[in-house]
Structure formats: structure tokens, C-alpha cells
Chain A
Amino acid sequence: MKKNPLALSLAGIVLAACAGMTASEKDYSQETVAMLKASFKERGQAKLDRLDQDDMQRLCSQYQGKPMPKDVSDKLEKAQQALIKYPADGNFLGDFRSGERIAQSGQGKQFNDNPANPSGANCYACHQLSKAELSFGTIGPPLYNFGKIRGFTPEMQKYAYSKVYNSQAFSACSNMPRFGHSGILTEAQIKDVVALLMDPKSPVNQ
């Protein structure tokens, strides 16, 4: 049977009214999406489809501000792990100097950004990385001495690549963007960021 959204929402209103629900008990998910779509307009690269949520975004919005049951978060992480694409050449380490520039730049994907320019990852917005940069945020954990503490192993290189590519694969509903999965950074850029974290010569490991 084809679902009629109007009939469904009317049924919802009737049900809510019958049950004597107050506003705070009613679920406004459908109204929220409809209102968002009526309140934004596309500009440049930022089209209205950015308001369409994928499974991760929908689940994490639903549970934001409250704990997610473990079976739900396990399932989410597994689904996201399956989406990671690894480099064909099997190499995870790029140029840490380029990685530092990517970590400093907050450009990219905003409606006023030129899509022809490369995006940054803005790692410093949320993480401490090199000792020299004092202007760092605290939304994410400090990453100073990332490789030195964890060991400069191929396994840790692969983990760092995976985490930058899709943070949700390891920590469901992390605040960190999925830089590879969502096409914010290229494969080469992610390798450069991995080098910033994992190259023994990188300022992060001094």
C-alpha cells in the first residue's frame, strides 16, 4: 500500500489528541523535517539535500543528549566500518607538512566556499596537536604525541586512517565529521593527516 503522508500525520494528531498528550510528549520528527525544508534555500554547493539525514545522522539526532543503547551503537559502528574504503596502494602515510596545513584550515563545504578549492579538516578547532599551536579547541581529545604514545606501527597507521575516514566506525555518534566517507577530504589528504599523527618527524610527535 502506498503511504499517504497527510493521512499518517492526521492519524498522529488524532492519536495524540485521544491520548491527551502534551506538546512535550508528542514526537515532532515529521514536522521538524518539513519545517527545515521550508526554511532553507540552496546556495552554491549547499543544496537542500543536505537536510536529508542518513541512518547515522537520524539515529544520533534521536539519541543526542541521552545515552544510546549498546546494541544500537554496536550495530551503527559495524555498518559504518563496512563503508570505509582503504587506499588501493596499501599505504597510509602521506606528507605531514601538508597534513599540518590541512589541520589548520577550516575552509570547505560552506555555502560561501569555492568548491574548486581543497577543503581543510580544521583538526585544531577541536584537538590539541603540535605543541607550537596554542590556539586549539577542546571538543575532541588532545592528540599531542599521538604516534609516540601509541607506537609507530602499521596497525596504528591503519586505525588513524580509518578514524579520520569514518569516525562513526569506532565511536557511535562522535561529534567528528566522517572526512573520507562524506567526501570532505581526498584519499591523499587523509594520508597527509595520518602522517601528521603518525610520522615520527611530525611536530605532533616532538
Chain B
Amino acid sequence: MNRINRLALALFAVGASWAFAQQPRSAVEEIERYRAALGDGNPAELWEARGEGIWKQKRGPKNASLEQCDLGLGPGVVKGAYTVLPKYFADSGKVEDLESRLVTCMVTLQGFTPEEAKKDPFGDPGKKVPMDALVAFVTGQSRGMKMNVAANHPKEQEAYEIGKKIFYYRGGPHDFSCASCHGADSQRIRLQDLPNLTKTADAQRAYGAWPAYRVSQGEVRSFQWRLYDCFRQQRFPELEFVSPASIALTTFLAKNANGGVFDAPSIKR
């Protein structure tokens, strides 16, 4: 068993014993203390370092790096780029989030087919994938900066409005929408606090904390993964990676977080 897995197991054990030992009343304070205790040694740094290597590495049929990729602030600008995403890109004619934009650059700069670029969207402890590492690297370069999604272009406005509709869209056997869990203040599922994503302060805090190293999963999870797994629990069919609905919903959530300080990759239970 490698070092990270042992660390993940140990941290998970701490989290589990915490959950059983504490009264629900103090859950919020305990979670804050738990996070503060972990914050100094976030394994996501390893993903960020690996991602920087992959960003600079010559890959694909064109044997090119991603260093000239335009993430929204111009070719090659990584610093702060995540704070303006999702964004409309004239070259692709689409509103793109970070993961979608990375796929676009892997296709245009490196010569991968779209299928190849989207093949392994999420890793796990037994399988490291480039996408998680690239996401960790790029988002880490916006740490400490304020979210600043413009959403002025008509396509961005349309994505925002459709994203809002998706947020409130009830469906499936359980009649759930995003808002079933994230539309009211100070609610919990079991002991897990649920941010009210329709309120600015909660939206800023929640959006600014993804991607995250998930201790219980031993993996850095991207925002695309966050939506994918929410829809799974919502009993919807399987959300396709970088699909239009995932980007529209991200546009809605990211813009609602505008003005909030981005503080990720973070660490979560």
C-alpha cells in the first residue's frame, strides 16, 4: 500500500471516529477544526505538481504541450484563469468550463481525438489520470483570487439561464432536483451540512472549495465529478463528461459564487 493510501485511510479513520463521537449540534465547528487540522498537509499538492508536469509535457500525435492553451485569459495564461470560467470561446463557438477547455486544447494543440481526450474523466486510487492532475494544477493557480465570471455574452447568458432551470428541474423516481438539497438555509443530510447554492455566501464558500482531495476516496475530485455524483444520487441517468448541461449548470453555480475567494484544491472528508 502506498503512502497516500495509508494517509487516506488514517484520515478517514479520524473522520469516522469523529462522526460517531460527536453530537450533531457541534458538527459544523468540528468539521471546521477537522479541516483546519488537515489543511497544512493537503495531498492535492501532489496532483498539482503532477498536473504541472503534464501541462508542460509534449504529448499526443502533434507532440505538443498544453502551454499555449487559452484558458480564457489568453494563450499560456494559467494564473487566475479558473476565476473567469465557464466562458464563451470564439474558437470553439461554445461556452466551456475548465475540463471542457482542457479537452478542446488536447484536441487542437496536441492532436488527440475528442474521444481520446474525454476517455478517462475521473481517476481513482488504482488509476491516475491526466485530467484530475491538470484540473488540480490549473485551479491551484487561482487559489486566493476572487471568482469573476462575466456571463455577458449571449451564449453565456443562455448557459446561465438554462443552468438555473436545470438547478430547479425535478425528475427521476425520487422527484429530486439540485434545489431539493441545496435550495434552503442550514440544512443537513445526516450530519453533512448542505450549502444553499441560491444564496451568495453559501455559493461562494461551496464553489470556492472544489476541486477537492477526498480523503475517503484518496483522489482529487473535479467539479465535473461533483456534478456527476450529485446526479447519481439524484437518481438521474449518467451525466456525460463536459456535456452542455454540466457546463450550463456550472455557469449558474460559478456566477453565483462571483466575488468569493477561490480556495481550492481543498481537502474534504
Contact = CB atoms under 8 A, between A and B. Distances in A.
Do A and B make up one complex?
A: yes
A135 interface: yes
B160 interface: yes
Given A65-B198, A175-B180, A182-B174, A136 B190 contact: yes
Interface in A1-60: 22-24, 26, 28-29, 31-32, 35-36, 38-43, 46-48, 50-53, 56-57, 60
Given A32-B169, A42-B237, A65 B175 contact: no
A89 B69 CA distance: 68
Interface residues of A, number: 49
Contacts of A178: 175
B144 to A, nearest CB: 31
A154 interface: no
Nearest to B165: A32
Interface string A46-79: 1110111100110011001100000000000000
A137 B237 contact: no
B23 interface: yes
Contacts of A136: 24, 190
Contact of A135 (B19, B237, B239, B245): B19
Interface in B213-239: 231-233, 235-239
A139 interface: yes
- Chain A contact residues, majority secondary structure: loop
Contacts, number: 147
Nearest to B239: A40
Contacts of B169: 32, 36, 53, 61
Contacts of A42: 237-238
Interface string B165-185: 110111111111101110110
Interface in B1-28: 19, 23-24
Contacts of B189: 125-126, 137, 139
Contacts of B191: 134-135, 137
- Chain B contact residues, majority secondary structure: mixed
B246 interface: yes
Q: Which of B174, B181, B245 has the most CB of A within 10 A?
A: B174
Contacts of B154: 23
B188 interface: yes
A60 B175 CA distance: 10
A35 B176 contact: no
A81 B165 CA distance: 28
A109 interface: yes
A110 B233 contact: yes
Q: Which of B186, B198, B231 has the most CB of A within 10 A?
A: B231
B57 interface: no
Interface of B: 19, 23-24, 154, 157-158, 160-162, 165-166, 168-177, 179-181, 183-184, 186-192, 194, 198, 231-233, 235-240, 243-246, 248
9 contacts: A32-B162, A39-B240, A53-B169, A60-B170, A61-B169, A65-B168, A65-B198, A135-B19, A175-B176
Interface of A: 22-24, 26, 28-29, 31-32, 35-36, 38-43, 46-48, 50-53, 56-57, 60-61, 64-65, 109-112, 124-126, 134-139, 168, 175, 177-178, 182-184
